[in-house]
Amino acid sequence: MEQPIRKIIHIDMDAFFASVEQRDNPELRGKPVAVGGSKARGVVAAASYEARKYGVHSALASKIAAQRCPQLIFVKARFDVYSAVSRQIREIFYSYTDLVEPLSLDEAYLDVTENKIGMPSASIIAKEIKQRILEETGLTASAGVSFNKFLAKIASDMNKPNGFTLITPDKAEEVVAGLEIEKFHGIGKVTATKMQSMGILTGADLRQRTEEELVRHFGKVGRYYFRVARAQDEREVQPHRIRKSIGSERTFDNDLTEEDDMLERLQHLSEEVAQDMARLQATAKTLTLKIKYFDFTLNTRSKTYLSEFSSTDAIYTIARELLRMPQLPPYPVRLLGISVSSLTYQHDRLREGYQLTLEL
């Protein structure tokens, strides 16, 4: 029996962090806003569309962002607020389907082939979700609808902000053929540059290459490139994606040189990581401390335990120990980060019938 054509929606919030800040502070509306960092230093976590016109984008050094847009307004990130809004949006998703695969706080895939409201049209559902998000949160989202995840993701990027794009099976190959290679989901800047050097500039160019050739140049992922060039993607929406690590980090306005200042920052980071672990009902066995010095040199220190830990005190105690071993940072520190891995989730412990915790 032939499988029905899947109906996949990709929802992507528009400049999510910055839009939340503009929503909550009317004075920021219509102005270039950067979330995170400052004019002196740091990294932009998100940028409003007004700022993007000047070439300001996420992961850009704040100093460069300020140079590109002198009137840029920097605001402090409020991740607790963004997380709360994200949960609100996901509740909207779950009212239509349980097959929701969150990719981050601001985007997710939904499989609505079969849905809770018995609506045969994925386009109608996507438009209804966009409207509900606007009414319930005051924020806009862009939606892409198609018969697989790759095309749905591509579609949601086509008409941002507040966009809606449908890619039907009869138009799929045409759309992919005309797509610039750097706009392919799953092809990063380095790979795109390599492809361009090989004369692969569009989806049509990519389709001319054999699977063997793509594997030879790009490894196993070459098989994925071969398929998506033909608008093929069999990946299912996975409602229970397992995070492999949980972490938090901060870039400081002024380099840290005193141990007490570093410990104070580690205490805050430990609290944030512990809160995320509690929300996800997770414990960990490995902690990694990330240290970036004034000259951008990166140092990481890790420790793994036989037993699990999850509390703020345990995380802080381990991080403090790693900060001091083998020695305190010998140079001024511009960034500290804590991440935990080797995670176990509550449902795994219940299934396996054990729970070991380490409280230091």
d(Cα 5, Cα 167) in Å, to the nearest integer?
Answer: 13
* 307: pLDDT strictly greater than 80: yes
- Residue 201: other Cβ atoms inside 10 A: 14
What's the pLDDT at 242? Answer: 67
Q: Contact, 298 vs 251, CB < 8 A? A: no
12 is in an annotated binding site: yes
Task: Give the domain ranges of the chain.
Answer: 1-167, 172-229, 245-349
- Residue 122: other Cβ atoms inside 10 A: 25
Work out the pLDDT band at 3, boundaries 50, 70, 90. low
Active site residues: 107
Q: Is 330 helix (H, G, I), strand (E, B) or coil?
A: coil
Topology of the domain comprising 172-229? DNA polymerase; domain 1 (1.10.150)
205 is in an annotated binding site: no
Q: Would you give the distance in Å from CA 31 to the centre of its chain?
A: 24
SS3 content of the chain, % helix, strand, coil (to 5): 40, 25, 35
> Can you spell out the DSSP letters for 49-117?
HHHHTTT--TT-BHHHHHHH-TTPEEE---HHHHHHHHHHHHHHHHTT-S-EEEEETTEEEEE-SS-TT
Q: Contact, 101 vs 10, CB < 8 A? A: no
* 354: pLDDT strictly greater than 60: no
Q: Which residue has the tokens 């830990």?
A: 309
d(Cα 89, Cα 339) in Å, to the nearest integer?
Answer: 26
Q: What integer is the mean pLDDT of 214-242?
A: 91
Instruction: Tell if the pTM clears 0.75, that is, is over it.
Output: no
Tokens, residue 300: 């990481």
Architecture of domain 1-167: 2-Layer Sandwich (3.30)
CATH number belonging to domain 245-349:
3.30.1490.100
Tens of pLDDT along 21-74? 999 999 999 999 999 877 877 788 899 999 999 999 988 888 899 999 999 999
Tens of pLDDT along 123-177? 999 999 999 999 999 999 999 999 999 999 999 999 999 999 999 999 999 999 9
Percent of the chain at pLDDT > 70 equals: 94
d(Cα 163, Cα 152) in Å, to the nearest integer?
Answer: 12
